[in-house]
Structure 1
Amino acid sequence: MVIGIIGIVYIFLILAAYGYGVKTLLFKKNFSKSSYKLALILFWGLVVVTTLASFASLFIRINWEFQLFLLSGAILIILLIVKKPITFQNNIFKKFTLSQKIGALFLVGCLILTLIQVVQEPTNPDTGIYHAQTIHWIESFPVVPGLANLHERLGYNSSWLILNAVFSFSFLGIQSFHLVSGFLFLAMVLSFYQGVHNLLAKKFLLSNFIRLGFFLAAFFFLFDQVSSPGTDMPATLFIWFVLAESISLLENKTDLLDSREPLILSLICVFILTVKLSTVPILLLPLLWIIYKLRKKSFNQIGQFVLLSFVIMIPYIVRNFVLTGYPVFPGFPFDLFHFDWALPLDRVKEERVVIHWFAMLSRVPLEDFLSMSLKDQTIKWFANLIPRYKAILITIPVGVVFNLFLCVFKKWRAFIRENVGLILLLLVFITGDLFWFLSAPSIRFGFGFLLGSVFLVLFPIVTFLANQLEKFQGMAVWFILIAFVGLALINFRTAIHYKDFSSVILFPKDYPTWSSSPCEFNNFHLLCQANYNSCWYSPFPCAISGNMHIEMRGSDYRDGFRQVP
């Protein structure tokens, strides 16, 4: 745990340096004080570091060489750009009321339990199947042509796994650390807690209620993922962050034409796509911003957005081409360039089908699933969901209808007119819900859009009532405190089962090691998994199964792999 905390502090310092430095160089003007929130600085640093690493991974392994470059750059930024101590807008620890003191006490407890969870053994099954092996490949070689031929999921190109390789510190020879998800979780809950803190001071703004919802949801739905380098949790947290910040911009009447905050949030939306491809509907937010600027004939920043988006996307698309032979994978079954390492088209098409089947009804044989109508698939899928997931899905349409019903009241219509931007946000998130359902409707894949939609239909009503009814304000504060107590108790129950806590006092737990056995390919052999399609981090390289139709393109792994007849 001690080493884990040191690693998290190091990640914080590197991201803060790059975030502040690059933001200062690129966006010197037109910032409100809110734009210097620590969370926004960290996320911009995360985008910059990940993009740099993505470019570097095209030519070199992401190991000690890149870490040395990264550290040197951070030192230069501090020496050349940071002329005076950096201060960030952060009012959490000023002038506490009694309720805020109680809230802060439980926050500290939740953060401590989070640190305990961060250093536990990863439990995400996808980490065993391909996350850990992908990170090992990134640490060991530049991007490998046709790597997806060994296993399709090694072609699931996510910039999040590159960032995990950056901060795995495998070159130390101790282990490949998995701390980045935990760092992100801690940063996000602290950012969301600002809304909780404001609510406890009876500042009943929608953005504060939204942040309260995301704070609680992060612990209830994502807490078990903080020790795994998976892509679901970061994609969800990024989407929530963008939504909360977007609502803040609307509340503050931010000038969307000249302010830089919408530009930065739009670029973060582009980055989210490189973390998880299924988040593509989030790009509707920057599209709406661009349309608004074009309608107002304000063309500044659009060119900057296009250029920087291009910079973010170039390494992502190039890596896709090298790993799979396609610009987007999975989901683009057109072989444009006929690279010799490209996955066969039939495997690309099959992967799309398998993803949808696995996310929807994995316990039903694939052949039976394909023979079912969409209606039958949907009915069986919904019936298999646990009650709280059913409640999430039902709340969205019911909440929309109820909001429409409230329009019979004059005060509610006035409230909606004052917050008309919320309608556009809700439309974006409902589009995300539909895309999620049609592509891969596993609930854990859709938390970002689903809970965003739930809170967008519920919390405007809560905000309206809180500002109309004085008695409701006191009830809201008590609800928050009770929710915090319940949250702390639930997380404590999760944490106290760690009977071997002494084993993580110094170091985080390593990836598990599962059994493997030799398997044959066309002109080489590897070790293959022997349990539940999982290789984890070691042995390396490791495949799911042998295939005599796969051969090495040269004498070295970095030459890549291809399929032969």
Structure 2
Amino acid sequence: MALLLISSYFILAKSAAPTWTYDTGLYHAQAIRWIEEYPVIPGLGNLHSRLAFNSAWFLPNALFGFSFLKLGPFHVLNGFLSLIILATSLNGLSNLIKRKYYFSNILRAGMALPVIFIFKDQLLSPTPDIPVALLTCAVFIYYVQLQEQGDEAPSRLLALGIVLLSTFAITIKLSALPLTLFIVVLTGREIAQGRPVNLFLTSGAVLLLVLPFFLRNIWLSGYPLYPFPGLDLFSLDWKIPTSATLVEKRAIVEFARDP
């Protein structure tokens, strides 16, 4: 409990500091502000190409920014998520102390390390990088736990959680697309074991996450996925020109190769 209280104070202090993250100044804060002030605007990416970078993480940041208080934006969700991860990590450490030497507990105990040593200076930003990284770690750990549990009833609920967390991470940032591997594996398992009800419920939950994501993409940029001009499925008045989309795509690729 003492460790959790100390960690909470650390995260609160970091979350209350001014942000210095470059991308937050470039488009994170602006995208969230547009969400706070207006409904989704067709072709907003034509005003600034990065405003078409649709991240599901911006929506809850706008909701819990409490802009109506006129006290400045409260970008605290990354801190809140980090606090949950730290609590989970301490739970894993507690299990190890109780001699529950499962590999998932070892991994869970180590989840505090990226929060403390890697993301500590980004907690004050609404950057989607933190939730994607932490959710990816969580998905892997829960998958390990799923293998440890076997085919028990609680593991089916855990499998659903893994699929939903993977889907949510992908809608936050497309760099999480490799998580589709977990979705495919777990979906294939449900099909192989003949559980149509589980498959139906999982598909419905995934659709609830994915459909709004694609619709917002189309509304903001004219593309189902931006900036991927290869998926040019609609002829819309507000669509960002293909040439501009290609420039944005090349910029992302080049930055990934040489930041």
TM-score, normalised to structure 2's length? 0.94
The residue identity in structure 1 corresponding to 2:62 is: A
The equivalent position to 1:196 in structure 2, one of 93, 118, 121, is: 93
Partner of 2:136: 239
Q: Does 1:125 align with 2:46?
A: no
* Cα distance in structure 2, aligned partners of 1:225 and 1:285: 28
Task: Name the CA distance, whole Å, in 1 between partners of 2:161 and 2:24.
Answer: 31
Which residue of 2 is the match for residue 316 of structure 1?
213
Paired residues of 1:114 and 1:186 also in contact (CA < 8 A): yes
- The offset of 1:357, in angstroms, is 0.8
AA at the equivalent of 2:253: H
* Structure 2 residue corresponding to 1:259, chosen from 138, 156, 161: 156
Q: Which residue of 2 aligns with 1:51?
A: none
Long gaps (5+) in structure 2: none
Distance 1:321 1:113 in 2: 40
1:257 shift after superposition: 10
8 Å Cα contact 1:198-1:208 kept in structure 2: yes
Aligned-residue RMSD, C-alpha = 1.8
Q: Percent identity?
A: 33
- Residues 144 and 208 of structure 1: CA distance in aligned 2, closer, same or farther (over 3 Å): same
Q: Which has the larger radius of gyration?
A: 1
- Give the match for residue 148 of structure 1: 45
Mapped contact 1:333–1:345 kept (Cα < 8 A): no
Q: 1:129 to 1:151 in 2, by over 3 A?
A: same
Is 1:161–1:229's contact at 8 Å kept on the other side of the alignment?
A: yes
Residues 1:333 and 1:349: Cα distance change in structure 2 (over 3 Å) = farther
| Structure 2 counterpart of 1:333 | 230
Moved more, 130-139 or 245-254: 245-254
Q: How does 1:447-526 map to 2 (within 5 A)?
A: none
Offset from partner CA, 1:425-459 (integer Å, 9 cap, x none): xxxxxxxxxxxxxxxxxxxxxxxxxxxxxxxxxxx
Q: Which moved more, 1:253-262 or 1:134-143?
A: 253-262
Residue 185 of structure 1 and its aligned partner are, at CA, apart by 0.8
Distance in 2 of aligned mates of 1:274 and 1:173 = 29
Match of residue 178 from structure 2: 281
Residue from 359, 368, 379 that aligns with 2:256: 359
Q: Which amino acid aligns with 1:125?
A: Y
Pick the aligned partner of 2:192 from 271, 295, 312.
Answer: 295
Query: Could you report, residue by residue, the CA deviation over 1:173-223 in whole angstroms, capped at 9, with x for unpaired residues?
Result: 111211111111111111121111222333321011111222112211111
List per-residue Cα deviations over 1:467-512 (Å, max 9, x = no partner): xxxxxxxxxxxxxxxxxxxxxxxxxxxxxxxxxxxxxxxxxxxxxx
Contact 1:256/1:262 (8 A) holds in 2: no
- The answer on 1:224 being equivalent to 2:121 is yes
Aligned length: 259
Please tell me whether the aligned partners of residues 218 and 224 of structure 2 are also in contact (alpha carbons under 8 angstroms): yes
Structure 1 partner of 2:84: 187
**TM-score scaled by structure 1?**
0.44
